[in-house]
Structure 1
Amino acid sequence: MGSSNHGTTVDSFLSNQSAKVFVAGHRGLVGSAIVRKLQQLGFTNLLLRTHAELDLTRQTDVDAFFAAEKPQFVILAAAKVGGIHANKTYPADFIAINLQIQTNVIDSSYRHGVKKLLFLGSSCIYPKFAPQPITEEALLTGPLEPTNEWYAVAKIAGIKMCQGYRLQHGFDAISGMPTNLYGPYDNFHPENSHVLPALIRRFHEAKVSGAKEVVVWGTGSPLREFLHVDDLADGVVFLMDKYSGLVHVNVGSGKEVTIKELAELVKEVVGFEGELVWDTSKPDGTPRKLMDSSKLAELGWVPKIALKEGLVDTYKWYLENVKQ
C-alpha cells in the first residue's frame, strides 16, 4: 500500500505498531518523550542507539546501520543543542555537527527505503524580528538571532533538505518546529539551562537552603510560550500519522505567559515561601516570542497539558532524578 508521491499516506503510521521505528537522539529531552509515547501506544520495534553505539556524524557508520537494520520510519530528534553561551563558544560545532547528523540520517533514510521521516527543528529558525505570532511563512524573511545563527542555519538546511528530497525523489520527509519545551530529562545545569528549568532549580535550592529571596533578571514583562515535551511527542506522532507535505509545521501551545507569571507559578509549585525580587537593571530579552500553530490545529491536533500541571510533573521529576 505504502505512500504515493502525492503525499497521501494510505497506510497510516499508527497502524504500523510492529514496524521498525528509528528514534535518533532517544536520550534527550525530546527523543526520550517520543520513545515514552510510542511505547505507550504499543510500538514494539523501536530502534535505539546511544552515541557510543552509533555516531550519527559518521556517514559510513550511519549508512551501515541503515543497511543492516532497514528502519521503516525515522524520527530525527538528535541534535547538538545549547544555550547562548555554548552557541557563542562553539559555533563550528553547532553548524558542523548538526549538518552532519541530519545530512547522514536523511540521505541514508531515503537510500535505504524508509517510508517516512520526521525532522525536528526549533523556533530559533525564524528571523529575530519576525511578526508575532510567527507563522511558517516567516522562514527566511529576515536576519536570524545572532547568538544562535550557526545552529539555526543548520536546522533551516535540514528543513530544506527534507523538501529537496521530497521534490526530487518523492521521499516522504516532513519537518516539525517545536516552541520552547520543558519536562522530564530537561537540562537543569546551573550555568547553561533555559529559563524554566533554571527557575525550578533556583527556587528549589532557595527553599532547601532557607533563603529569604530569589532574584530574577529583568522586569518579568517578556512573553514566552511553553509546551510540555509529552505534548510535543503526541504532536510528533500525530504528524507522522496524518501529515505529508512540503511545508514545515509549527508545534506550539499557542498560550503565552509573562516571565513574571511563570516565576510566580514555579515559586508556588516548588513551595518557596520567601520573596521574589526583580533585578530591573538586567536585560529582558525579546519582548515576545509566540509561534502560530494554527496549521497544526487545522489538521486536528491541540496540546493537552496545562502549564501548571506540567510544572508539577517536571518538578516531581527534578526531585527524583537531579542530584542536589
Structure 2
Amino acid sequence: MEGATDIFVRLRPRLLGVAYRMLGSLAEAEDVVQDVWLGWNDAEYSQLADPEAWLVTATTRRSIDRLRLARTDREHYVGIWLPEPVLTGESPATPEQLQEASSDLSIAFLTVLERLAPEARAAFLLREVLDTDYDEIARTLDKSEAACRQIVHRARSQLREERPRYVVSAEDHQRLMRRFAQAWSDADLPAMKAMMAESATLVGDGGGIVTSFPKPMVGGERIAQLLFACTLRRKHELRLELASINGRLGVLRYFGDVLESAQSYETDGERIVQIHVQRNPEKLRRISAQQASIPTGVDVYSSNGAFNRTSTIEGAR
C-alpha cells in the first residue's frame, strides 16, 4: 500500500495544475499545494475512501480562498493583469509537468477565466477541464448538484464569446511561429504584416514596473509595426527564442542577456490573431532562472538574422 507521502507526491502535479489554473500564478499555486500538504499530514488518510478526491477538494477550496484575496489586489493592479507564464514541454526545467493531455493551459484561456467569480471558476474548471462529476463538484463547493450545474451553465454562457475560437494543430502553429520569428529577426516588415490578422490584438502586462499598454492594441498592421520598431531600435541586442509557453509555441524576447518579455500567441493556423506579452519582471523571474543559458530544444533567432536550431522543439502541445 502507498504511504501518505507517496500518495501526495504522485498527485502533486495534478494538484499544482488545479491551483495554477485557478490562480494564474505558479508561485501562489505552489503555496496552496504546500498548505494542502500540511493538512494532508494531519488527515487520517487511511480512513479516506478516495484520497485523490480529498486532495483535489482541499486544493480547490484553498485556491478559492486565495483567489478571493488575490482579486482584491488585482483590482488595484497597474495596467492589465495577465497570468504568470510557465515553460512547458519535455525540458527538465518544466515546473512539475504542469500540462495534462486534455487540459487547457494557454494564457488566452486563463485570462478569459479571470472574468469568473472564484466559485464559478472552480466549478467550470472541475467540469470542463478536469471532467469531474457534478456530485463531486457539489461536495467540493458544498452546494447542491443542481446549483453546480447552474453555475457551470452560467460560466459557459459568460465565456462563450471570449474563449479562444480556433482549433489549430501544433504543427501548423509551430510552422507559422517559426516563419514569424524568422521574419521578425530579419526585420522583414512586409512579411510580419502578412502573418498578422487584420483584427489581431496585443495585450501587455508591465505590472507598473515596466512600461506597457494600458489597454489592448488592435490591428495587425499596427502590432507588426510596433514589434518592427523595437527591433530597429535595439537590433544589435535582440535575440528571439521559440519556446513552449503554457503548452503552445511562443517567443521569449531578450535584449542582450536580459529576458524582456514572454509572448504567447494565438493563431488560426494561417495568421496571428492574438498576442499576450508578459513584461512584468516579477512574473518573468522563474523563466529567467530556467533560461539562464540557452537550452537544448529551442530555436534561436539572433539580432543579425542568423538562425540556429539547437534541436527540434519539444512539447508544444
TM-score of the superposition, structure 2-length normalised?
0.31
TM-score of the superposition, structure 1-length normalised?
0.31
